[in-house]
Structure 1
């Protein structure tokens, strides 16, 4: 009951409020700038849709995971970034518009890519099932609209109507976002405490390596193509912070296998830990230092 309230009510509500605050820091030109310089969007999309599943598959082989754990890891690698990535990007002073754009585009794209990737994983690792992957498409679309897109649009409208108020609220909202992030992390650990020990014992190391590898991929590819630090932060976070809620839905509802959620639980903890480290490092920097 408590877990249901957390994941279905409090978490989406908290993230929606945070997205509203993010919207108050954005103006339309933040998004039009992305369309004029699409390199960052392209790099982020390629990383998430192509390289992340390759890394996940390679680690499943390298760590010799059994079929259930391997498929759970592939669910993670195939999942898009979630609203939490937008929150972490904001606190890290990354490019919020880029982060939101990548979350939206990749989330819609994975409606097509997840069935292909997971069907291939099921066939390769031999789950012994002929299940057809059918994602809750309407739920995915509603999640993106209600938690991300609509609150950000409302925030941008507030910024346009009351610019002084929006600018004044930027620092308090960032502080509130940090506090909410900490509370969400504590709540998730508490809600998943029963599974945490088993998850870390079985796949703690491989999920940590996956998380670090995907974030490193995001950062180094961004810097390799000479993106600025704001864009690099966004791509790093989007590459390593996955939509854990969607991943758990796929494992437990679509594939009807609770054990496949074990890697997702472990990864959820790691991504909050590494996300916290990024926030501590980049969040304390002066805005002028984030070029």
Structure 2
């Protein structure tokens, strides 16, 4: 998929999305880990350990082709996206926790993403044609974290402007992701039906499981309702644009990007449906208490 959409549009799209993340961040968001260590640790354990294990189980259970299996694991290893903050706000989650989780996980993913993805590449014995060197991942994150730092600087110096721009940038990010997904689908139109047959069930199940696990595991461990909702949205709404960027620009494989693209089609709808369910559940519990 060597086109202007990927060589120019994709880096710009990722830059805008990460700039939007920076607009929502302050240094205190990283310090907040000390205020809610339990909620942060539980959510990160779900994101970094439990979800990749579940994803790998789905890959094996559904017997996905090698490149789609690698794409699934790359998606599972990607951190949460900025849209998770918006869903959390809409459905009564702890948005401050979302922001903290996104900030921390974006840093941790520099190390965990290549480990998880390379384990998948090794499992499928595709080292000869697919390679994700750690140095390249560091380079990618250095590039994408630059706009994040810029956004943080804008927020620190012009907080009112940053607050005004947060929502438009989030909406713009969603539109940009939709355009990217459409571009990938058009590029792969001859194989699209096969990809949906192969990856549709896996990505749909993974999205639903991510949202449910992200909510009920923290709840089972005594995390309060608003933080469980935040965790659910953070774990269920991945930074699919980052996964697509790494698949196309680093791994040089449009096929590996297909799971992230298909996941994006489920992600917004499933997050909205699930958010409505849990928020109604909370409202009903409060009304009867």
TM-score by length of 1: 0.77
Q: Residue 192 of structure 1 aligns to a residue in which SS?
A: helix
Give me the whole-angstrom Cα distance separating, in 2, the residues matched to 1:212 and 1:16: 28
Aligned pair in 2 of structure 1 residues 138, 242: CA closer, same or farther (>3 Å)?
Answer: same
CA contact (8 A) 1:2 1:191 kept: yes
Deviations 1:104-154 (A, max 9, x none): 22222222222222222222223362754213313313423413x542453
Aligned to 2:184: 192
Aligned to 1:155: 155
CA contact (8 A) 2:68 2:256 kept: yes
Aligned to 1:85: 84
Q: Which runs of 5+ in 1 are unaligned?
A: 160-164
Give me the whole-angstrom Cα distance separating, in 2, the residues matched to 1:280 and 1:83: 19
Give me the whole-angstrom Cα distance separating, in 2, the residues matched to 1:18 and 1:57: 29
Aligned pair in 2 of structure 1 residues 185, 133: CA closer, same or farther (>3 Å)?
Answer: closer
TM-score by length of 2: 0.77
Aligned to 2:238: 242
Aligned to 1:16: 19
Q: Which runs of 5+ in 2 are unaligned?
A: none
CA contact (8 A) 2:10 2:245 kept: no
CA contact (8 A) 2:72 2:259 kept: yes
Deviations 1:192-212 (A, max 9, x none): 341474332321111000111
Q: Does 1:256 align with 2:255?
A: no
Q: Alpha carbon RMSD of aligned pairs, Å?
A: 3.5
Aligned to 1:272: 268
For 1:42-121, list aligned pairs within 5 A: 42-121=41-120
For 1:210-229, list aligned pairs within 5 A: 210-229=206-225
Between Structure 1 and Structure 2, how many residues are aligned? Answer: 274
CA contact (8 A) 1:93 1:282 kept: no
Deviations 1:15-73 (A, max 9, x none): 635753x46xx895x76554122111101211111111101110001111122221111
Give me the whole-angstrom Cα distance separating, in 2, the residues matched to 1:179 and 1:128: 38
Aligned to 1:137: 138
Give me the whole-angstrom Cα distance separating, in 2, the residues matched to 1:244 and 1:238: 12
Aligned pair in 2 of structure 1 residues 267, 42: CA closer, same or farther (>3 Å)?
Answer: same
